[in-house]
Structure 1
Amino acid sequence: MTESKAAFSDKDDERDHDSLAPGNSPLKSVNRTPGTKAHIDTEKHPVPQREQKESPPPPPPPPPFPLHLLRLHMKKKTAATGGSYGVFLAHYLATNTFPGAGALDYAFVGSLSISCAMLVSPAATWTTRVYGTKATLFIGIAFETASLIGASFAWAIWQLFLSQGICFGIGMGFLFVGSVGIVPQWFTTKRSLANGFATCGSGLGGLIYSLAAGAMINSIGLAWAFRVLGILALAVNSICAILLKDRNKIIGASQLAFDVKLFKRPEYFLLNMYGFFSLLAYVVLIFSLANYARTIGLSASQASVISAVFNLGQALGRPPIGYFSDGIGRINMAGLMTFFSGLFALVIWIFARSYGVLIFYAILGGTVAGTFWATVAPVAAEVVGLKHVSSALNLVWLFIVLPSTFSEPIALEIVAGTGSYLGTQLFTGFMYMAAAACMLLLRGWKIGELDEIARLKGESVDQIDVVGTETEENDAMAKAAGRRSIVQNFA
């Protein structure tokens, strides 16, 4: 998102100019003097200095590589351990590790880790506001390390629920919420690309930890595999937490946990439904691919490779998704890539009966499977405006708790009831398609909103800031016009 001159107002500084497609005209410098609604071009009619608000200085040029490296390492270690649960799940199902536990029990362990991570987001936001980012990160590190060490001593399924499920999820949630907003604070342009590089850490980590977890389980046993992962979680995340630096105070970032009034907006509800359907499909893929590989006759090591390649696909896919979002539009990119996720599940995964075809699906499907994570923040900015992004995302995290919890249990129950993975594969594909349909409806709303803003201001649509409309006085009229045109502009 973009640079702004020092004379701009605070609201102009917050606008996301980078969301304009390449080649579009930049916005004019705009200020409003008290008591008037007229738009004044400050380049032609300078406003006296005393009438202008002081704006925070633009972000200093950061050292992007070290910052990305730290955020990527934290994302890699945090999400990767959860992403490698598919390897653990395949091991549990194949060896009956905990007597008396069934497939549904093991499915809930993995699902709980994701849902608990989302559920603690308000608490993590509160600790960030009151105690700072580092405190939030170290709380997450403590929970995550304790969960992995505790899981190494588990001998009953309820202990696995508490350790690898709930405790790990709490730690992952604090680490995720505490670090997710740091990288964008240091960039004034190409924030989607920067976010894409940062989030690809979960894919890289999933690649490494899927292979490592599978190898360690076979060589040193399940208990010591957990302990090694716990030691790594403590060491790597602690180093990253110490070195990471946020700019919350400088930019005046809002850390409000909730703004339930957002649910009165149909467009925001569509964003939440996009996340709901996406998570129903995504959780099935990250947890079930390794077990599916075992059901078609592949070995445990081959199943680990399938899970690793799927995570490699995520690492390769997220940066391009962020990069091209800046050109073709964030909502357009989210809808298109989500559609491809469903298409690949329906036309490739269903027919993947050999190791080679499943490898092909894992890497191709992986590039687009996690589109939600790469696009939800920039899309939320277009839907609610930069001012409300923090609250909007907190509510999104809570909204996706249910699909995160029940997606994998639903998938394994379908397998148990039908005797094959076909029903689960169809379920995954159609959930992605439903998520893509939500993005199409949201696209229709955004087109209507921008058209109305352009009409009211007498400007070209290309000159309108797609995230800055929240600060405009005619915002309510434009959003209402967008809602009336959702179906009209569906395609």
Structure 2
Amino acid sequence: MSKEKEAQAENMVHSDCSISSRDEVDDIERMSRASNVLERTFTTCSIVDPGPPPDGGVRAWTMVACGWLVIFTTWGWVNSYGTFQTYYSITLQESPSTISWIGTVQNWLTFFIGALSGRLLDAGLYIPTVIVGSVLQLLGMFLMSISTKFWHLMLTQGLLTGLGGGIFFTPSLGLVATYFSSRRSFAIGIATTGNAVGGMIYPIIVRELLPKIGFAWTTRVLGFLNLGLLAVVLAFMRPRLPPRQSGPIIDWAAWLDPVYACFVAGLFFIIWAIYYTFYFLASYGVQKVGLDFASSASLIIIVNGVGVPARVIPPYFADKVGQLNMVVPTVLFLTIVAYCWLAVENVAGLYVFTMFYGLISAAMQCLVPSTVASITPDLNMVGTRLGMAFSSLSFAALTGPPIGGALQSAMHGSYTGASIWAATSTLIAFVLLGAARVNKVGWQLRKKA
């Protein structure tokens, strides 16, 4: 009997070990399945090479719609800063040049972080990138609602919202570009209308709600708006290309390409001018032609709103005649309009200048992403090169408005010197962009570039 009991006990031990072993195997399998689900959800490691871009279809146009929401919540938000510049000039005891640093830091970070975040699209980490960027931007907007001092607003509106927007903007735009080939400019042009619409909607909300519910709840309303829109982006926007497993964060060889180098250098000078004009246009209306705050906010709405058709029509033709062939003459027209600011002396003239400047500057800006894509030989490098371009432009966005503001202070509040500087910067941009076109196809005017 003793031997039988020992045998039974031994069998029970083996049985327990077997059950334990099966449980461990099941646990490992469950963890493996969970890991695979997370990998498929948050990365593109499971994607095989899908071949050429679909260049249309429901999925591709859904990406355009989501890209529109991304640009609405990033550059629409950034371009509405002129309204806040005017409000802060009234409520904060700081000079216009000092206050403009809030917007320029926000703008700089939205551009600059692109060098890193653009590479994250190439690495297959788009979804985590959008999550982190969205959280930071929304945190900045809600903390902005309790900000009362200059340094509070610098940390919240300047640092946090700029950092968050920069993290997810460039990968999203690069993602849209990978879904199109022959219609890439048109698709990105449609997506970039989010910039113009956002530049209208945010100032309208501020203008209407600020006198009624105050600054704190106005900014909370803007935060809840972005929360809803970014939730839609996270639900539907997905990359189509597998990750590029290796490669540098910066493609140094791009700077040896004269087309790319001249193009980015030209953009630097034009961004200097554009963001000075956008930030100080409303203040000019208050200080020089006698507009009140509500009317000056309308200038920001107009300068962004008139750009909606300009962000669709030029890209449509750019796909046919070439991106650089559209960019160069557009910047020439913008140069002429920029010099016309010197002749503005009354309300009517300011509104006319605002409409033309907004229309032509929008046409130029919407062509930037597709032009970078068109001069990038490998689509897998679009995110990296786009990020490099935007990061370079970030320093123009950072320094342009303060330089203009400093010129105004040096001339005792006169806008003349700053206006000449902005217009001349645009002229230099025209020369450099023309050089990029010549380096690509030579002096043949009819050749697609």
TM-score range relative to shorter protein:
0.7 to 0.9
1:373 aligns to what?
365
CA, structure 1 residues 331+253, in 2 after alignment: closer, same or farther (shift >3 Å)? farther
**Alignment partner of 1:180: what SS?**
helix
Q: Does 1:195 align with 2:191?
A: no
256 and 412 in structure 1: CA distance in 2 versus 1, 3 angstrom threshold: same
Aligned residue-pair number: 397
Aligned to 1:286: 278
In the TM superposition, 1:428-439 aligns within 5 A as 428-439=422-433
Is the alpha carbon distance of 1:129 and 1:231 closer, same or farther for their aligned partners in structure 2, counting shifts above 3 Å?
same
**Aligned partner of 1:239: which letter?**
V
**Structure 1 stretch displaced more, 156-165 or 85-94:** 156-165
Which one of 394, 418, 423 corresponds to residue 417 of structure 2?
Answer: 423
Paired residue secondary structure (1:220):
helix
Preserved CA contact (<8 Å) 1:113 1:166? yes
Cα shift readout 1:177-233 (whole Å, capped 9, x = no counterpart):
131023232234321111111111110111111111122222211121111111111
Counterpart mapping for 1:264-303 below 5 A: 264-295=256-287, 296-303=289-296
What is the aligned counterpart of 1:124 among 110, 113, 117? 117
Q: Deviations over 1:274-295 (max 9, x none)?
A: 1110110111122111111111
1:59 paired residue number: 54
- The CA RMSD over aligned residues, in Å, is 2.5
**Paired residues of 1:214 and 1:301 also in contact (CA < 8 A):** yes
> CA deviation digits over 1:340-362, x for unaligned, max 9?
11211212x22333333222222
Does the CA contact (< 8 Å) of 1:289 and 1:307 recur in 2? yes
Q: Supply the AA of the counterpart residue of 1:378.
A: S
Residue of structure 1 equivalent to 2:405: 412
Q: Determine the C-alpha separation between the residues in 2 that align with 1:134 and 1:303.
A: 39
Q: Which runs of 5+ in 1 are unaligned?
A: 1-53, 452-460, 467-491
**Residue among 136, 144, 156 paired with 2:149:** 156
Equivalent residue number for residue 17 of structure 1:
none
**Distance (whole Å) between structure 2 residues aligned to residue 209 and residue 270 of structure 1:** 34
Among 123, 129, 132, which residue is 1:136 paired with? 129
1:385 corresponds in structure 2 to 377
Q: How does 1:150-229 map to 2 (within 5 A)?
A: 150-229=143-222
Q: What is the deviation of 1:107?
A: 0.8
SS in 2 for 1:248: coil
After superposition, the Cα gap between the structure-2 partners of 1:265 and 1:184, relative to the gap in structure 1 and judged at 3 Å, is closer
* TM-superposition CA deviations, 1:142-175 (whole Å, max 9, x none): 1111111111111221121111101111111122
The aligned counterpart of 1:354 is: 346
Task: Sort the Cα spacing of 1:386 and 1:363 in 2 relative to 1 into closer, same or farther, 3 A.
Answer: farther
2:84 counterpart of 1:88:
yes
- Alignment equivalent of 2:70, drawn from 62, 68, 74: 74
1:109 corresponds to 2:102? yes
> What amino acid does structure 2 have at the position aligned with 1:427?
W
SS of match in other structure, 1:138:
helix
Deviates more, 1:252-261 or 1:106-115: 252-261
The Cα shift of 1:438 comes to 0.6
User: Counterpart amino acid of 1:59?
Assistant: P
1:269 positional shift: 2.1
Distance 1:130 1:58 in 2: 18
- Once residues 230 and 303 of structure 2 are traced to their aligned partners in structure 1, the CA distance between those partners, rounded to angstroms, is 24
Determine if the alignment matches structure 1 residue 320 to structure 2 residue 313. yes
Question: Aligned to 2:299, which of 300, 306, 329?
Answer: 306
SS at match of 2:242: helix
- Relative to 1, partners in 2 of residues 1:427 and 1:73: Cα closer, same or farther, differing over 3 Å? same
Which residue number in structure 2 is paired with residue 484 of structure 1?
none
The CA distance in 2 between the partners of 1:55 and 1:130, in whole Å, is 16
Structure 1 pair 408/393, CA: closer, same or farther in 2 (3 Å)? same
CA distance in structure 2 between the partners assigned to 1:340 and 1:85 by the alignment = 25
Q: Is the 8 Å Cα contact of residues 174 and 383 (structure 2) preserved in structure 1?
A: no
Structure 1 pair 72–253 and aligned structure 2 pair: CA distance change class (3 A): farther
Structure 2 SS opposite 1:217: helix
Counterpart residue identity of residue 175, structure 2: I
Change (3 A) 1:125 1:71: closer
Counterpart residue type for residue 420 of structure 2:
L
Q: 1:132 offset after TM fit, Å?
A: 2.4
Cα deviation code 1:93-151 (max 9, x no counterpart): 1233xx4x322221111000111112212331344345622221121111111111111
- Residue matched to 1:21: none
> How far did 1:332 drift?
1.9
Distance 1:289 1:279, change over 3 A: same
State the alpha-carbon separation in 2 of the partners of residues 255 and 83 from structure 1: 33
Q: Give the secondary structure class of the aligned counterpart of 1:205.
A: helix
Residue 329, structure 1, aligned to residue 322, structure 2: yes
After TM superposition, give the deviation of residue 305 of structure 1 in Å. 0.7
CA shift, 1:394, in A, is: 2.2
| Conserved 8 A contact 1:199-1:374 | yes
Inter-partner Cα distance in structure 1 for 2:73 and 2:53: 31
Shift of 1:373: 3.0
C-alpha deviation, 1:336, in angstroms? 0.8
Quote the Cα distance in structure 1 between the aligned partners of 2:324 and 2:358: 20
Residue of structure 2 aligned with 1:395, choices 382, 385, 388: 388
Q: Which amino acid aligns with 1:93?
A: S
Aligned residue in 2 for 1:38: none
Deviation, structure 1 residue 371 = 4.3
Conserved 8 A contact 1:310-1:363: yes
Per the alignment, in what secondary structure is the counterpart of residue 123 of structure 1?
helix
Structure 1 or 2: larger helix share?
2
Structure-1-length-normalised TM-score: 0.75
Which range moved further: 61-70 or 439-448?
Answer: 61-70
Distance 1:255 1:73 in 2: 30
User: If the length of structure 2 is used for normalisation, what is the TM-score?
Assistant: 0.82
Relative distance call for 1:130 and 1:66 in structure 2 (3 A) is closer
